[in-house]
Structures are given as C-alpha cells and as structure tokens.
Amino acid sequence: MSGDDALDDLVARATAGKYEDLCPALVRRIAARELAVRGRPKEALKSTRRKLHQVGAAYWPGSAPAEERYVEWLGLLRRAQGDPPALRQACAAIMPSHASTRERLPLLDRFYQQTLHGIAPVSSMLDLGCGLNPLAVPWMPLAAEASYHAYDVYGGMMGSWGRRCRCWGCAARPTAPTCCTSHPPRRPRWRCCSRCCPW
C-alpha cells in the first residue's frame, strides 16, 4: 500500500462513527502526523482517534448531534425570534448539549457583562472552537451592527447554522460559520476573541 493509500485508509477508519462530522482537513492532518510518528497503522489509528476525541468529541455527551437535531434546534430558535425572553429560554435549553456552554450556563446573566465590560459594546467577535457558544449571543453586550464570526471543527454543525440561521434573533448579525480550515475576513479589527475549546 502506498503512502497516500495508507493515509486515505487511516482517515476513513478514523472517521467512522462519531468522528465522521469532523472537519476532513483536520482529520487528515492529524492522521498524517500520527502515521508518520507511529509507523504502524493500528497504532496510528488508535492515537488518531484519541486526538480526535480530545479536540472535539470530548465536549459532546455521547456523540455530536445528527443533522436532525440541528434542524430541531433551529426550529426552536426561529419560533422564539422577536421575543427576547423566549429566545434566551430557547438558547438555554440547547446549551447543555455541549460541555463548554453547559458549564457557563449558570453564570450567563453576569458572565459576559462582567468579562466584556471594558470593551462594551463589542463591535466584532471572533469565536474559535465555538461549539454552541453562538447561542450565548443574547447575553453578550454587542453593538447593534456587531459581526460575529464562529469557527469550529464540526462541519455539519457549522453548515447547519450557516445555511438555516442567519440571525440569532438579536442585535448581532453573525456571518455564516465555517469549518476550521477557513479563514476570517482579511485584516479584521476584532474587538474580542473567544476560544472555547483547546484545539
């Protein structure tokens, strides 16, 4: 088996099951590194899947949601648009599905008001490894014309938000989120950068 064939096989085996929605370029980069270091495909597969768990799957109880779950969530958000208390309630109902937003949920009423106080109102937000953090937008002290750029390694989640939900029902106007290999607009003037997951 050639080097490229071995890598293709490793990527296919590593992404089977709960890792299939992870950004393909990220998976391939990790798999190539592990294959070069480990040498043996079996060891490379084990270490690759361990890395994939660390960068993404560890934050989802069980496994990342399927497309149907994203559609359900977006329906919940859309029904709440135009009603700020209902929107916050809808967002708060979804946020426990991801570890980073679940642990922040009890602090939401004061977390962003306190941490962003010195730069409020925030005109632009770059959210790296966002998970479900865009759902916290209703609690953020954002300017009326704020831009919110969200990036994560889960392509299905990012594509679902980007295709179906152009607005979170608040003053911010988020751009369509993209996966980890895309880049934010050139020469941005970010007022705030949030990094939710350590990848």
Q: Are 136 and 106 in contact (CB under 8 A)?
A: no
Structural domains in the chain (count): 2
Whether residue 148 is contained in a domain is answered as yes
- Residue 13: CB atoms within 10 Å: 17
| Same structural domain, 109 and 186 | yes
pLDDT at residue 90, rounded to an integer: 93
Rounded to a whole number, what is the distance in angstroms from the first to the last CA of the chain?
31
DSSP state of 177: P
13: domain range?
Answer: 3-55
- Rank 136-145, 166-175, 179-188 by mean pLDDT and report only the highest: 136-145
| Same structural domain, 23 and 73 | no
Whether residue 84 is contained in a domain is answered as yes
Q: What is the mean pLDDT of the chain?
A: 81
Whether residue 61 is contained in a domain is answered as no
| Same structural domain, 99 and 136 | yes
Whether residue 62 is contained in a domain is answered as no
| Same structural domain, 136 and 38 | no
- Stretch 149-173: mean pLDDT: 65
pLDDT at residue 95, rounded to an integer: 93
| Whole-structure pTM value | 0.80
More confident residue, 126 or 110: 110
- Stretch 49-71: mean pLDDT: 85
| Same structural domain, 25 and 73 | no
